[in-house]
Amino acid sequence: MNNQSTVIYLDLDGTLIDVREKYCRLHEDIARAMGRQPLPSAIFWTLKRRATPLPALLGDWEAEARESYSRRWLAAIEAPTYLQFDGLIPGTRKVLSRLSRRHRLVLATLRRDGRALREQLQRLGIEGYFAGAVAAGDHPSAGSAKAQLLRLKGETNGRRAIVVGDSEADVEAARELGAPVVCVLTGIRDRPFLEALRPDHIIESVGQLPQLVDQAGRSERLVV
């Protein structure tokens, strides 16, 4: 692998940013606002990481209440009230600094509010490490497909690439692009779920990414 020509597509939520507090607080706030008893945070997060379907997640909630919950979730998940709880995964700045010296880093996220995304990257002090940032909200025609989002943005230009993320969306994007994929365990899916997707590699956190990429560069393959 030619390190100078490698583009690394990085997911944001769960990969670079710890979203657990945001997700748990939002679940609790929505449930209480609807007069329901929220799940304890530890149970909610465990179920969320297993990709538990909403009917099972909300138990005996009727269909109308589940639909209302979903609407409220989508309306609030990118609001400043909840984005304030986002924090960088430990070591993220150091990793981005190291990788950006030798690789082209592209942030790829399904966030719907591109402006709020850019403001958050600036607040977190990581916007300068990316050669590009692609958000679904900036390209509505891409829908919820990351690979299509990258194609519309012109980021899939034939370079050697690696996709890094925490969910099935990232694995699907990598497969469509014909790129290897690395999954991290800091996000919204747990190890058993990710193992079932058969990514090229699973690492504890993005902190292990530089070593993995370096090894891939020496051996011409990502799996180590």
CA–CA gap between residue 63 and residue 214 (Å, rounded): 49
Count CA within 13 A, CB hemisphere, residue 161: 23
CA–CA gap between residue 207 and residue 145 (Å, rounded): 26
At 3 the pLDDT is 43
- Looking up tokens 């977190």 gives 124
Question: Residue 6, Cβ neighbours under 10 Å: how many?
Answer: 19
Q: Per-residue pLDDT tens for 102-137?
A: 999 999 999 999 999 999 999 999 999 999 998 988
Q: Say whether pLDDT at 224 is over 70.
A: no
Q: Per-residue pLDDT tens for 24-65?
A: 999 999 999 999 999 999 999 999 999 999 999 999 999 999
Q: Are 118 and 133 in contact (CB under 8 A)?
A: yes
Question: Residue 207, Cβ neighbours under 10 Å: how many?
Answer: 16
Its pTM stands at 0.91
